[in-house]
A and B are shown apart, each in its own frame.
Chain A
Amino acid sequence: MPATTLYSACVASAIGLYLLMRGTGGGVRGMGTIVALGGLGWLLSETFASIDGDVGPTIAPLIFGVIAVMAAVRVITHRRPVFAALYFILVVIASAGLFLMLHAEFMAFALIIVYAGAILITYMFVLMLAQQSPTDAGDSGSAWYDRTPREPAIALLAGFILLATLVEAMDNSRARHFDTMTETVATRAAEQPWIDLGRLPRELLRTAQDVDPDVVDVLSAPRLDDGIVRLSVRLHGGTETEITLPQSSQPSNTRVVGLALVADYPVSLELAGVILLMAMFGAVVLCRKQIELGEDEAQQAAGISGGPQS
Chain B
Amino acid sequence: MTTLGTVSSLIAQADLIDPKSMQLMLIFSALLFVIGLVGFLTRRNMIIMFLCTELMFQGAALAMVAFGRMHMDASGQVFVIFILTVAAAEAALALGLVILLYRKRDTLDAEAWSELREC
4 A-B pairs closest in CB distance: A76-B39, A279-B89, A190-B14, A155-B41
Instruction: Give B residues with C-beta under 8 Å from A.
Output: 3, 6-7, 10-11, 13-28, 30-39, 41-45, 47-48, 50-52, 54-55, 58, 61-62, 65-66, 68-75, 77-78, 80-82, 84-93, 95-100, 102, 107-109, 111
**B97 with A126: CB separation less than 8 A:** no
A260 and B39 in contact (CB under 8 A), knowing A65-B28, A95-B32, A190-B10? no
In chain A, positions 174-199 with a C-beta closer than 8 Å to chain B are 174, 179-183, 185-190, 192-193, 196
**Is the CB of A212 closer than 8 A to any CB of chain B?**
no
Some 19 contacts from A to B, beta carbons below 8 A apart, are: A21-B42, A51-B19, A51-B23, A57-B18, A69-B35, A76-B35, A104-B80, A114-B84, A119-B54, A119-B88, A154-B41, A155-B42, A159-B35, A159-B41, A163-B31, A253-B77, A260-B74, A275-B85, A280-B92
Q: How long is the Cα–Cα vector from A271 to B111 in the complex, in angstroms? A: 35
A276 and B58 in contact (CB under 8 A), knowing A72-B35, A101-B21? no
Q: How long is the Cα–Cα vector from A308 to B66 in the complex, in angstroms? A: 64
Residues of A within 8 A of B98 (CB): 126, 130
Q: Which residue of the partner chain, among A53, A143, A158, A185, contacts B41 with CB atoms under 8 Å?
A: A158
Q: How long is the Cα–Cα vector from A92 to B25 in the complex, in angstroms? A: 15
Q: Which residue of the partner chain, among A51, A65, A91, A130, contacts B99 with CB atoms under 8 Å?
A: A130
Q: How long is the Cα–Cα vector from A210 to B35 in the complex, in angstroms? A: 48
**B37 with A287: CB separation less than 8 A:** no
Instruction: Give A residues with C-beta under 8 Å from B.
Output: 17, 21, 40, 43-44, 47-48, 51, 53-55, 57-58, 61-62, 65, 68-69, 72-73, 75-76, 81, 84-85, 88, 91-92, 95, 98-99, 101-104, 106-107, 110-111, 114-115, 118-119, 122-123, 126-127, 129-130, 132, 143, 145-146, 148-152, 154-156, 158-160, 162-163, 166-167, 170, 174, 179-183, 185-190, 192-193, 196, 227, 247, 253, 256-257, 259-261, 264-265, 268, 272, 275-276, 278-280, 282-283, 286-287
